[in-house]
Amino acid sequence: MELQSNRSLALLSIVILALAASCDAGGIAIYWGQNGGEGTLAETCATKNYDFVNIAFLPTFGNGQQPMIDLSGHCNPNVGECTKLSTDIKSCQAKGIKVILSIGGGAGSYYLASADDAREVATYLWNNFLGGQSTTRPLGDAVLDGIDFDIEGGTNLYWDVLAKSLSAYSSMGKKVYLTAAPQCPFPDAWIGNALKTGLFDYVWVQFYNNPPCQYSSSDISNLEAAWEQWTADIPATKIFLGLPAAPAAAGSGFIPADDLTSQVLPSIKNSSKYGGVMLWSKYYDDQTNYSSSIKSDV
């Protein structure tokens, strides 16, 4: 009896430790779509390195413009070629990977002219990429998991209306995940107000190209301060550390993998809002194998 009891206690301890480890574990989000040399979407998901794939970008929308997706080097949406991605999207989702459409980007023609304009954009996104119906779905009949706000231009108006309108579609059956990629200076100049809605599930903050709040030469103090502010003030489910996957992927802010796993992650993972790491982008990750080298520590 005593031996059996000891075995039961040992098994219970293992289960508790496993649960604790899983609670602390983070994921990796990757951006895909802006370089034809980064492999297919299906190949991206087959690496098993990523938990989220952001398809980048839909850089043209709003103010009466015809929305247009741009997947440089992968397919031509003007002739319906991008509908071939539907099979890849479903393949990724079958592996438990969330596939999300990223709207905006660093170079594009987008802004919301009014609250009604924001609601019209939400309707377009629902019908053409999410669970709605349209005869002109750019990525075919696959239903994406959500929308990523990578807003880096235009104006800071009505993004909260867009978020609320998209979130309301979750009542139609499948949850619509909302994610965002703000810059690390707080609050974000473009979508700071939208983030206050508390509707965003995952926020991958760009801790690069912003020296006042990023890692620099083994100094993590600026990054730590910004991380604490983001996790304290933004009511998101999880906050991610957004990083370039290679030195060439950004003007500044690259963190060597050894520094990330030995200095930075141990400092920020104690936050209950810690979600993991976001990387820009799949093309650069292929050059460095960055995600593979950090995955066990994220």
Handedness of CA 91, 94, 97, 100 (dihedral sign): positive
229 vs 234: CA distance, rounded Å: 8
Q: Which of 2, 43, 81, 152 is catalytic?
A: 152
| Amino acid, res. 42 | A
Q: How many CB atoms lie within 10 A of CB 296?
A: 8
3-state secondary structure 209-232: CCHHHCCECCECHHHHHHHHHHHH
DSSP secondary structure letter of residue 237: S
First to last CA, the chain: 41
| Amino acid, res. 227 | W
Contact predicate 85/164, CB 8 Å: no
Helix or strand holding residue 151 (H, E): strand 146-151
Question: For this structure, is 152 an active site residue?
Answer: yes
H helical segments located in the chain: 2-24, 41-46, 85-94, 115-129, 159-168, 192-195, 221-233, 257-259, 265-268, 282-288, 290-294
Task: Tell which phi-psi region holds residue 253, choosing left (phi > 0), alpha (psi between -120 and 50) or beta.
Answer: left
| Residues marked as catalytic | 152
